[in-house]
Amino acid sequence: MLRFMPVGDSMTIGSAGEHTWRYRLWQHLCTEYGGPFTFVGPRETLHDQVADAPTSYAYAEPDFPRAHLAGWGEGWQHMAPLIGESVRSQRADVLLVSLGLIDLGFYTNAEQTADNVRAFVAGARAANRRVRLVLLPVIPNIRAEADPSFAGEVTRFNELLAKTAADLDTPGSPLLLAAVPPSYDFHTDTYDGTHPNASGEHKIAEAFAETMYEGWELGGPYSASCTP
């Protein structure tokens, strides 16, 4: 059984009442992937925005493997120390990673964040030398539109992430850089300029699905209309 681990920040954990892109990708893989698979991770909950805590199980569609390693306000620097044990204990085969916005917004500059990406990959490989990874760049968001200095850090980090992905890709532990669909627009694909609504969830899921299909022939072309 192929074991996927979604890793991310608030866009990945999602909030109470949401489907999440994790569900959209699971739905897609149920149709397009020919073998047994599941999602794994040490966490299962959504973020409860009223309680400001990751305590909710109120998924819009609860009937899917909800495990993940994601947290509201967490970034590369938070996940790098956790990933080794998470990969080891959950026996993860494929990491689907969407991180960076939080780091650049509050904790580290582009170069420091790229260093944390390298530490993350090293930790994952120490736990599973054949782990596969798909990394999503920081996607368009309202802060980058409003804050030119932040936008510059995002651009710089995404450039460094592409270089890091190329440098760290190996035959035994392949690493792919995903690309957000060109149609992604935070004005229409998020509910607050950052967090995805239903169309945004599909487009993030599509980014991972198309990358795995094109890079590894895993699954098939993404369809937002697929059903489990």
Helix (H, G, I), strand (E, B) or coil at 68: strand
Residue of 134, 131, 147, 135 whose CA lies nearest to 194: 147
pLDDT confidence of residue 225: 55
Residue of 11, 35, 9, 34 whose CA lies nearest to 24: 11
Instruction: Give the separation between CA 15 and CA 38, rounded to whole angstroms.
Output: 21
**Pairing, β 46-48 against β 53-56:** antiparallel
Domains of the chain are 2-216 (3.40.50.1110)
Angle at alpha carbon of residue 16, lines to 10 and 19, rounded to 5°: 80
Neighbours of 12 (CB within 10 A): 24
CB 35 within 8 A of CB 2: yes
CB 174 within 8 A of CB 215: yes
Q: Please report, in tens digits, the pLDDT of each residue of the chain (228 residues total).
A: 999 999 999 999 999 999 999 999 999 999 999 899 999 999 999 999 999 999 999 999 999 999 999 999 999 999 999 999 999 999 999 999 999 999 999 999 999 999 999 999 999 999 999 999 999 999 999 999 999 999 999 999 999 999 999 999 999 999 999 998 899 999 999 999 999 999 999 999 999 999 999 999 999 999 865 443
Print burial letters for 204-215: b (CB count within 10 Å at least 16), e (below 16).
bbbbbbbbbbeb
Instruction: Give the separation between CA 94 and CA 88, rounded to whole angstroms.
Output: 12
Phi/psi for 94 (5° steps) reads: -135, 125
Q: Which ranges of 10-147 does DSSP label H, i.e. alpha helix? A: 10-13, 21-32, 76-90, 101-102, 110-127, 142-146
pLDDT confidence of residue 223: 83
Instruction: Pull the structure tokens for residue 173.
Output: 């532990």
Instruction: Give the separation between CA 109 and CA 106, rounded to whole angstroms.
Output: 9
CB 187 within 8 A of CB 217: no
With a CB cutoff of 8 Å and minimum separation 6, the contacts of 148 are none
Rounded (10°) angle between helices 76-90 and 110-127: 10
pLDDT confidence of residue 226: 47
Helix (H, G, I), strand (E, B) or coil at 8: strand
